[in-house]
Amino acid sequence: MRVLLTGGAGFIGSCVADLLAADGHDVLVLDDLLPQAHDSDAVPAYLAGHRFVRGTLTDAGLVRDLLDGVDAVCHQAAVVGHGLDPADAPLYAWHNDYGTAVLLAQMYSAGVGRLVLASSMVVYGEGRYQCPAHGLVEPTARTPAALDAGRFEPPCPRCGADLEPLLVPEDAPLRPRSTYAATKLAQEHLAAAWTRQTGGSVWALRYHNVYGPRMPRDTPYAGVAALFRSALERGEAPTVLEDGRQRRDFVHVEDVAEANLRALTTPGAPGELTPVNVCSGTPHTVGDLATELALAFGGPAPVVAGGARPADVRHVVADPARARELLGFTAKIPFTEGIAAFAAAPLRA
């Protein structure tokens, strides 16, 4: 299969490129090498052996040329992270949403009908919760006063009691809380409209907290695992916000690459976008991550600092059932083993 892989020089995209090539597919990597994710214009050494084109998805002519003879598109390109400031919104919308719109339009013109879209768990906002007295409820937003007072659990909108987090299925309400999250949900909406108009198919892979080699260091656009690892490399203790008990689903990048391979080789439903959680199925706290990483690295123990960033959510715990049923995907790398390897893996500048 000939695959156009957007964002293929990045953390996740490059691992997808390696696995697709190892599986015998013809991969063409497109990446703009944006400074938010790359420290120079040089093609990363780990892309040696891959066909690489530097360019942007917003260049319709370039995208049209690259789609010639392509069987499927694996769309990883995006500006990631919460969004450092509301002024970042045009940057995110231009690359994530306008770039996706150009890609979809050119796929239609070229007759390419298969897309694997890198989506994200951030489209859910807060996860799924139940109240001991009132059952399944939508949590009330956590107020600055509550966070300052150390009350981190979302309260029940009816009685104010702390809520219990549940597994989040793909049909959960979508409530993006950040600029980045809003643009990822917009990508899904654009792709869903494209499927209905063209009869094409889309797997929207909602990545949970991905970690592993080739994460960029020392950048606010990186995930929490890279921020903790960067602190340890500087000889500093990882700083954990809130009380460290916020739950996430950490999934190794090699497992994420496997999910992409399965989506590319599994026919999707014509005329439909099918969202799928890509997760480990075993949630851990952010404090667990910091502690395991510090132990494996041999660095100072984490510091729990309290507080929270405006776009932070308390718990997002994924339901892995659909990925298993539709794609035959189950993450294989255990948390402790993956974190131990990550502690020794190189980060990108």
pLDDT of residue 85: 78
Q: What is the mean pLDDT of residues 58-72?
A: 98
pLDDT of residue 13: 97
- 320: tokens are 């892995």
CB-side neighbour CA atoms (13 Å) of 32: 17
Please, what are the domains in the chain? 2-127+168-344 (3.40.50.720)
- How far, in Å, CA of 239 to CA of 176, rounded? 25
Query: Over the stretch 298-318, which tens digit does the pLDDT of each residue have?
Result: 999 999 999 888 778 999 989
- The CA-based angle 310-311-317, given to 5 degrees, is 135
pLDDT of residue 86: 84
Q: What is the mean pLDDT of residues 172-188?
A: 95
pLDDT of residue 189: 98
Query: Over the stretch 199-257, which tens digit does the pLDDT of each residue have?
Result: 999 999 999 999 999 988 876 666 889 999 999 999 999 999 999 999 999 999 999 99
Query: Over the stretch 43-56, which tens digit does the pLDDT of each residue have?
Result: 888 999 999 999 99
Query: Over the stretch 249-284, which tens digit does the pLDDT of each residue have?
Result: 999 999 999 999 999 999 999 999 999 999 998 999
pLDDT of residue 84: 63
SS3 11: helix
> Which residues on adjacent β-strands are paired with residue 3?
27, 72
Q: What is the mean pLDDT of residues 316-324?
A: 96
At residue 37 the predicted structure's pLDDT band, cuts being 50, 70 and 90, is low
- How far, in Å, CA of 142 to CA of 151, rounded? 8
Q: What are phi and psi of 202, to 5 degrees?
A: -135, 130
Question: Nearest Cα to 304, choosing from 219, 245, 233, 251?
Answer: 245
How many C-beta atoms lie closer than 10 Å to residue 189's C-beta? 13
Q: Is the pLDDT of residue 82 over 80?
A: no
At residue 83 the predicted structure's pLDDT band, cuts being 50, 70 and 90, is low
Judge contact between 293 and 345, C-beta under 8 A: no
What is this structure's pTM? 0.95
Give the range among 80-89, 96-105, 275-284, 301-310 with minimum mean pLDDT: 80-89
